[in-house]
């Protein structure tokens, strides 16, 4: 396959140069979806809570800064991959940190992906169970009220029942874990990004409806702070926001898939704009959902903003159903 020419530089070294035959045409949207799917999941609806605890001005600033840093880091990783002629995350980790560092990075990656998988399964279980109860018996299990009118949390499943439901969900998603590469699961990536994005737009629409309808004095949510957070909270929720740019875990599998179809230089070139588009899209939707959620629900914003919606209404039920189902599917590519 044509694609890369070895050109000798002035100091006698050779470097790879992309040939015209290997030049990409247009933006690789499939790569954009694959990269974005690692970041755009159920955690999107935790962004409003971060905006509450950090203050919406400070949180928005951090989202933009982290987006810029994420783009810089991913572009530099592509540079290093091209310089060392490898698309392997493990190989680059060994080059950078030695064998011990490679083992450490492997352990960190396993821990991170395990936590993400458990979070997706847990969130999927909670949302799907809540939707089922709301649809069947017209009860909002996110928030109920006692005789005095005070809000209380309703426990639908006991510990044993939760384990059984989680086991059932794992069995449902297990066949999809057998895919050899992210390319084999590209339909999940594209569908996941589309579903979560559409759910985010519906969520924003629900927020606009609440804001437009106004509220009675006793039902109004206190306004959120512009700046807030102790040092411990800032560090904690900065980490939450940083995890929202975890497309680094998808970069090397996507790069390997593209390098198998063309040269490594061609794969790197086609991924550069895909990385920028993925991060730009993620930053935009984080800001939109974060601002709308916290400005609508104020200091009453839940840790998962979907829980602020009235599940007795059809649209919130649909949003929760789509997000819960999508979170289950995304386990296959985490």
Asked whether residue 204 is assigned to any structural domain, the reply reads: yes
Asked whether residue 21 is assigned to any structural domain, the reply reads: no
Question: What would the mean pLDDT of 300-321 be, rounded to a whole number?
Answer: 86
Asked whether residue 98 is assigned to any structural domain, the reply reads: yes
Asked whether residue 273 is assigned to any structural domain, the reply reads: yes
Alpha carbon distance 245, 247 (integer Å): 6
Here the tokens at position 256 are 């390997």
| Confidence band for 172, pLDDT divided at 50, 70 and 90 | low
- Full-model pTM: 0.79
Q: Which domain holds residue 240?
A: 30-333
Asked if 290 and 56 touch (Cβ cutoff 8 Å), the reply is yes
| DSSP H or E segment with residue 16 | strand 14-18
For 114-145, b where at least 16 C-beta lie within 10 A, e where not — what string?
Answer: eebbebbbebbbbbbbbbebbeeeeebbbeee
- Which tens digit of pLDDT belongs to each residue from 53-62? 999 999 999 9
Asked whether residue 254 is assigned to any structural domain, the reply reads: yes
Asked whether residue 218 is assigned to any structural domain, the reply reads: yes
- What is the total count of domains within the chain? 1
- Which tens digit of pLDDT belongs to each residue from 100-140? 777 877 787 777 777 777 777 878 888 888 888 888 887 77
For the chain, the farthest-separated pair of C-alpha atoms sits apart, in whole angstroms, at 83
Lowest mean pLDDT, pick from 78-82, 265-269, 309-313: 309-313
Q: Average pLDDT of the chain?
A: 79
Asked whether residue 5 is assigned to any structural domain, the reply reads: no
Asked whether residue 43 is assigned to any structural domain, the reply reads: yes
Residue 60 is predicted with a pLDDT of: 95
pLDDT at residue 332 greater than cutoff 80: no
């Amino acid at each position: 396959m044509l694609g890369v020419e070895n050109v000798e530089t002035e100091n006698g070294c050779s470097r790879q140069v992309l040939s015209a035959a290997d030049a990409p045409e247009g933006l690789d949207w499939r790569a954009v979806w694959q990269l974005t799917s690692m970041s755009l999941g159920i955690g999107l609806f935790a962004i409003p809570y971060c905006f509450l605890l950090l203050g919406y001005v400070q949180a928005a600033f951090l989202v933009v800064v982290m987006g810029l840093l994420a783009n810089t880091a991913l572009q530099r990783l592509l540079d290093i991959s091209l310089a060392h002629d490898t698309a392997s995350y493990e190989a680059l980790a060994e080059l950078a940190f030695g064998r011990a560092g490679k083992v450490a990075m492997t352990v960190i990656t396993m821990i991170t992906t395990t936590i993400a998988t458990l979070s997706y399964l847990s969130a999927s279980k909670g949302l799907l169970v809540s939707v089922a109860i709301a649809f069947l018996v017209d009860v909002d299990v996110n928030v109920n009220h006692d005789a005095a009118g005070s809000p209380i949390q309703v426990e639908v499943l006991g510990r044993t029942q939760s384990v059984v439901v989680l086991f059932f969900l794992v069995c449902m998603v297990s066949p999809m874990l057998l895919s050899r590469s992210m390319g084999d699961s590209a339909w999940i990536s594209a569908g996941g990004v589309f579903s979560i994005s559409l759910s985010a737009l519906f969520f924003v629409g629900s927020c606009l409806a609440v804001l437009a309808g106004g509220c009675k004095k006793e039902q109004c949510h206190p306004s959120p702070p512009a700046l807030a957070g102790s040092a411990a909270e800032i560090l904690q929720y900065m980490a939450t926001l940083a995890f929202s740019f975890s497309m680094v875990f998808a970069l090397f599998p996507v790069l390997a898939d593209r390098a198998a179809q063309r040269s490594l230089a061609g794969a790197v070139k086609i991924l550069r704009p895909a990385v920028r588009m993925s991060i730009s899209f993620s930053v935009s939707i984080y800001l939109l959902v974060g601002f709308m959620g916290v400005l609508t629900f104020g200091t009453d914003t839940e840790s998962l903003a979907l829980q602020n919606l009235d599940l007795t209404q059809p649209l919130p039920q649909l949003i929760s159903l789509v997000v819960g189902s999508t979170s289950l599917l995304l386990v296959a590519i985490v």
